[in-house]
């Protein structure tokens, strides 16, 4: 049975604004001066799954950027385009049914394009284990990461008994917790960070989608009958337009009774907020994470980022100050998750040009 990988690269990255923008979201940018997240993800996964069996699913608005990013790594014909942004339930359902129609049998691993991974060997070992376990058992596998601190920025997976070495029954998914709850999760050692990586046999995933997500299955299956014809584009867009905007976790995984978690022990971070980028940048003697020119007096535990301007600070603590292309954001680290709401405010007030 062949293994396939699908890298999910259709998000708009609004929580990283102004570094990430709708016109060029975070999967296409580099925060630390290295390669974009999407390229790093492809290079990693191609060490486990051959390039010809690696696919990328992205929104149609990002097709040209995706082609430019991946052209030296995978065939351009391996790019699947979402006609509309409808969250991960639609993304994974579409790609699953697309690959099942194309190949019939096989196992597939879905991987977010925008995660930071430092321990590549540990990461690849977890992906291999998830793919192999899914192939052997027919169960759906998720990769959870052993938490290194009580993060309030990540979702968690509560695990039960160990069914095989390093593989555990999934008891429950937990949303991003408050600080006190995150501390409790860490102490019990029964919780893993949810990496967003999902693996399963194509037929098992398709059967689960048909059972748990019948509207997705019906609409997408009908549209895929027209694949390769001039009618396919309007049919798949019409199918998407009638789908709920929900996550795959909520629509499928939380309802599955055959779900297991591979416990990964590697450095992983979902760079889902401005606060998280300090992980990539590193910290100086004052616990500040700085990119660009900065001079500060009594400034500590802050993130300062500017590609063009000199930023100066006095008496700053636990803050984010970022200047990108004439756009400036200043906020407490504790409010970094509110950037998405700020982006919505920009839209409502006619500031789309800054997005």
**Cα distance between residue 88 and residue 94, in whole Å:** 10
Lowest mean pLDDT: which of 98-102, 233-237, 350-354? 350-354
Alpha carbon distance 167, 199 (integer Å) = 13
Q: Hey, is 242 helix, strand or coil?
A: coil
* Percent of the chain's residues with pLDDT above 90: 68
* Secondary structure class of 99 (helix, strand, coil): helix
Predicted confidence band at 56 (pLDDT cuts at 50, 70, 90)? Answer: very high
Count other Cβ atoms within 10 Å, centred on residue 77.
8
- Is the per-residue pLDDT at 162 higher than 90? no
Asked whether residue 296 carries a pLDDT value surpassing 90, the answer given is yes
Mean pLDDT of 328-347: 90
More confident residue, 210 or 307: 210
Q: In this structure, are strands 167-174 and 259-264 parallel, antiparallel, or unpaired?
A: antiparallel
The position carrying tokens 């052997």 is 136
Q: At what angle do helices 87-103 and 202-212 cross, to 10 degrees?
A: 130
Can you name the residues that pair with 56 across neighbouring β-strands? Answer: 7, 79
Q: In angstroms, rounded to a whole number, what is the distance separating the alpha carbons of residues 166 and 130? A: 10
Q: Residue 24, class by beta-carbon neighbours within 10 Å (0-12 exposed, 13-18 middle, 19+ buried)?
A: middle
Longest dimension (CA), the chain: 64
- Residue of 285, 286, 288 whose CA lies nearest to 277: 288
pLDDT, tens only, 101-134? 999 999 999 999 988 888 899 999 999 999 999 9
Q: Show the CA angle centred on residue 58, arms to residues 205 and 340, nearest 5°.
A: 100
Written as six digits, the tokens of 307 are 């590609």
Which of 60, 107, 89 minimizes the C-alpha distance to 216?
89
Residue with tokens 């694949």: 227
Instruction: Write down all domains in the chain, each with its CATH number in brackets.
Output: 3-270 (3.90.550.10), 274-354 (no CATH)
**pLDDT, tens digit, for every residue of 309-318?**
999 999 999 9
pTM check: above 0.75: yes
Report the range out of 117-121, 173-177, 215-219 with the highest average pLDDT: 215-219
- The CA-atom distances, in angstroms, between 64 and each of 60, 85, 324 are 8, 16, 23
User: Does 48 sit behind a cis peptide bond, omega within 30 degrees of 0 on the bond before it?
Assistant: no
Bin 254: left if φ > 0, else alpha if -120 < ψ < 50, else beta: alpha
What is the pLDDT of the chain when averaged over all its residues? 91
The b/e string for 161-170 (b: 16+ C-beta within 10 A; e otherwise) is: eeeeebbbbb
| DSSP assignment letter at 214 | H
Q: What are phi and psi of 227, to 5 degrees?
A: -55, 135
């Amino acid at each position: 049975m062949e293994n396939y990988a699908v890298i999910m690269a259709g998000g708009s990255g609004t929580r990283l604004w102004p570094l990430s923008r709708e016109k060029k979201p975070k999967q296409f940018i580099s925060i630390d001066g290295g390669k974009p997240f999407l390229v790093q993800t492809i290079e990693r996964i191609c060490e486990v799954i051959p390039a010809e069996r690696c696919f990328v699913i992205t929104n149609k608005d990002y097709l040209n950027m995706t082609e430019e990013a991946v052209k030296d790594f995978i065939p351009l014909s391996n790019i699947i385009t979402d006609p509309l942004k409808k969250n991960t339930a639609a993304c994974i359902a579409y790609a699953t049914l697309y690959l099942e129609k194309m190949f019939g049998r096989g196992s597939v691993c879905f991987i977010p394009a925008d995660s930071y991974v430092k321990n590549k060997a540990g990461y690849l070992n977890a992906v291999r284990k998830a793919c192999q376990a899914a192939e052997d058992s027919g169960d759906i596998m998720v990769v959870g990461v052993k938490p290194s601190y009580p993060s309030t920025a990540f979702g968690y997976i509560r695990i039960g008994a160990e069914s095989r070495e390093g593989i555990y029954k999934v008891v429950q998914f937990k949303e991003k917790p408050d600080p006190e709850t995150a501390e409790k999760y860490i102490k019990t050692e029964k919780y893993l960070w949810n990496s967003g990586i999902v693996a399963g046999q194509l037929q098992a995933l398709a059967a689960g989608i048909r059972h748990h997500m019948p509207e997705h299955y019906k609409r997408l299956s009908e549209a895929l009958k027209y694949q390769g014809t001039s009618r396919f584009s309007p049919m798949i867009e019409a199918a998407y337009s009638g789908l709920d905007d929900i996550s795959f976790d909520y629509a499928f995984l939380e309802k599955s009774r055959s779900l297991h978690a591979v416990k990964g022990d590697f450095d992983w971070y979902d760079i889902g907020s401005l606060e998280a980028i300090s992980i990539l940048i590193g910290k100086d003697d004052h616990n500040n994470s700085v990119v660009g020119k900065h001079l500060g007096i009594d400034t500590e535990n802050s993130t300062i980022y500017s590609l063009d301007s000199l930023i100066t600070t006095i008496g700053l603590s636990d803050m984010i100050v970022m200047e990108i292309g004439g756009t400036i954001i200043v906020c407490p680290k504790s409010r970094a998750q509110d950037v998405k709401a700020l982006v919505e405010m920009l839209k409502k007030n006619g500031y789309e040009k800054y997005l």
